[in-house]
Structure 1
Amino acid sequence: MSGGAIGLTFLMLGCALEYYGVYWPLFVLIFYVLCPIPHFIARRVSDDTDAASSACRELAYFFTTGIVVSAFGFPIILARVGAVCSVGCFL
């Protein structure tokens, strides 16, 4: 839980400091909100807790992994395009 709080603090610092002053990295919050949704859907759909793995659960892991990778990749793409500076991308 504290890792998420530290991550959000750095995200706000990367956007709100006057030197950086660009709020494009806040779109990463969309990925933070979307990340647990496939897991919740898979848990509701697949009620078989005895099975080691189910196709629905594996698909949810796949989508969650894609969303997490996108959350890391989006600031890098913004830095590459020049919308944010590299320090703001790092934060």
Structure 2
Amino acid sequence: LSFTALVLLSFSGAIGLTFLMLGCALEDYGVYWPLFVLIFHAISPIPHFIAKRATYDSDATSSACRELAYFFTTGIVVSAFGFPVILARVAVIKWGACGLVLAGNAVIFLTIQGFFLVFGRGDDFSWEQW
């Protein structure tokens, strides 16, 4: 199960990055400003890791720390979707590139969420196996 899930998540991540690169590198677009959304992709799991580490000892189903992590993660994801729209609105990139970047964002964030759903649900999961 975990090997198949890992392969599928890797494939979907590659598809998302392909959309992102197409939005930057196609001949009609040729502007690489949308690559800054990779920063949002990289920092989006950080609030979850901090909240999981801080609330590790408590058995509460909901805590202020976890809710704050959801808030920050939501802000990061919304910013990742808003950034290409703002770039297209001020004519830095074209709207077609914006659409490809938004499609890439959707696929990549769904891949990140799938990774946490598949590999983060068990209590025996640890990063030491990687």
Give the TM interval when normalised to the shorter protein: over 0.9
Structure 1 residue aligned with 2:52, among 43, 47, 68?
Answer: 43
Shift of 1:4: 3.1
User: Matched residue of 1:47: which SS?
Assistant: coil
**Structure 1 unaligned residues grouped into runs of 5+:** none
1:9–1:49 CA distance, 2 compared to 1 (3 A): farther
Return the alpha-carbon distance in structure 2 between the equivalents of residues 70 and 3 of structure 1: 21
Shift of 1:49: 4.7
* Consecutive aligned runs of 4 or more in structure 1 exceeding 3 Å deviation: none
Q: Which moved more, 1:67-76 or 1:4-13?
A: 4-13
1:42-81 equivalence runs, <5 A: 42-81=51-90
- Aligned partner letter, 1:78: L
**Structure 2 unaligned residues grouped into runs of 5+:** 1-8, 101-130
- Aligned partner letter, 2:47: P
Shift of 1:84: 0.1
Kindly report the root-mean-square deviation, in angstroms, between the aligned alpha carbons of the 2 structures. 1.1
Shift of 1:5: 2.7
Aligned residues: 91
- Aligned partner letter, 1:43: K
2:21 aligns with: 12
Q: Is 2:114 the partner of 1:83?
A: no
Return the alpha-carbon distance in structure 1 between the equivalents of residues 17 and 58 of structure 2: 33
